Amino acid sequence: MSRALQHADRYALPVGGIAAVLCIVLGFIPYFRVSFFNAWLFAWLFWLAISLGGMALSMMHVLTGGGWGVLIRPIGNAAARVLPVMFVLFIPVLLGMRILFPWAQPYDTLDPVLKHDHAYLNPTLFVIRWVIYFAIWIGLSWVMMNASGETWRARASAAGLVLYVVAITLAGVDWIMSRQLHWVSSVFGFILTVSQTLTALCFIIVVLRSRIRSRPGVAAFAKPKHFVDLGNMLLMMVILWAYMNFAQFLITWTGNEQTDIGWYVQRTYRGWRVIAGIIIFIHFLVPLVLLLQRPLKANLDRLTTIASALLVLRVLDLYWNVGPQRLTDPHGGFVLSPLDVLAWIGIGGIWYAFFSRALARMPDLIFAGETDGAWQPTSEPRIA
């Protein structure tokens, strides 16, 4: 794993740049145009999740303390530093607004419900909200890394977690929910918040294993109890993610309104039903059983294996949420475009290149208040 991440540091930008350019070039071909914009939005949302989720985990540690956060805060802060890049990478979504979002069509072609929503869902306010969301998130990440003293960081974190939940809820309406005609969900913002934090935590655990092997100061501080804490957090996030999704499904099933069930009609037809089954049984039940075992969580290698598998399933879960909306026919079946893979690699390569550079400039450990337990390092780490 450590060697793979070292190769990723070296080749992420060229590979990502080539994949992104190839994806964009194919997007100019009329046959691939719809697939390109859908693929770009899906890939962009995945890598944005790690940046925002990493920032949220850092803010949680500022407020709660604990050795687990000392280990992962540098990684979370480095992920948050890529937010300005993600702001720029959203531009193709703006260019494909009329393809991606039904409310972006000319006003005289909208159905009555969309005309009623047009006061909020319109291209001008959509762009303004995009700027506001990123101004909030980038501002929060700047305060987290530049505030003088933990008191100011704690204040920023307390307010920041609230702002993060509110902003990502509204952004989820703009970027995902509004693509499904007439569908609404009052819990969707919380699902998106938990999903992003879960995705970021899986990624951070994978990167942490590499840092422990390459940074003596990190290895000297890390203890099995810290890995158990991270495993418990992973278990909590998986359970909370499952609970939120089940609540949304149960409310939709109980209401059984034609305007609401379209979301699940698309996602439970043919191949999408298989994806849904994988998400339910492998994404939820398998980690639930494994993460209840303390010896497994105390072993970083085994915990990293679980986190790596969950990270792959996080890609599948996001695709299950975003992918079906490209289809005008609700019974269109499962479709995977090569551009989905190209866009994911392209944006991911660019994201990881900036992330790895930011992480290289981070201290080995970042403390929030007192540490839990004695620590005798074998070499002098860099401490913020």
> Cβ-count burial of 188 within 10 angstroms (0-12 exposed, 13-18 middle, 19+ buried)?
buried
Residue 128: the pLDDT is 97
Full-prediction pTM beyond 0.85?
yes
Mean pLDDT of the chain: 88
Domain count, the chain: 1
**Angle at 219 (CA atoms; ends 378, 292), nearest 5 degrees:** 140
Query: Do the domain assignments include residue 378?
Result: no
pLDDT over 90 at 129, yes or no:
yes
By mean pLDDT, which of 35-49, 60-74, 125-139 is the weakest?
60-74
Query: Do the domain assignments include residue 383?
Result: no
Query: Do the domain assignments include residue 248?
Result: yes
Taking the C-alpha atoms of residue 139 and residue 296, their distance in angstroms, rounded to an integer, is 38
Residue 1: the pLDDT is 53
Residues 153-157 have a mean pLDDT of: 88
Residue 383: the pLDDT is 43
Residues 27-41 have a mean pLDDT of: 92
Query: Do the domain assignments include residue 150?
Result: yes
Query: Do the domain assignments include residue 273?
Result: yes
Closest CA to 283 of 198, 196, 192: 198
Query: Do the domain assignments include residue 228?
Result: yes
Host domain of residue 215? 2-360
Residues 144-157 have a mean pLDDT of: 82
**pLDDT band, residue 333 (cuts 50/70/90):** low
Query: Do the domain assignments include residue 377?
Result: no
Which tens digits make up the pLDDT trace of 170-224?
999 999 999 887 888 889 999 999 999 999 999 999 999 999 988 888 999 999 9
Residue 212: the pLDDT is 92
Query: Do the domain assignments include residue 382?
Result: no
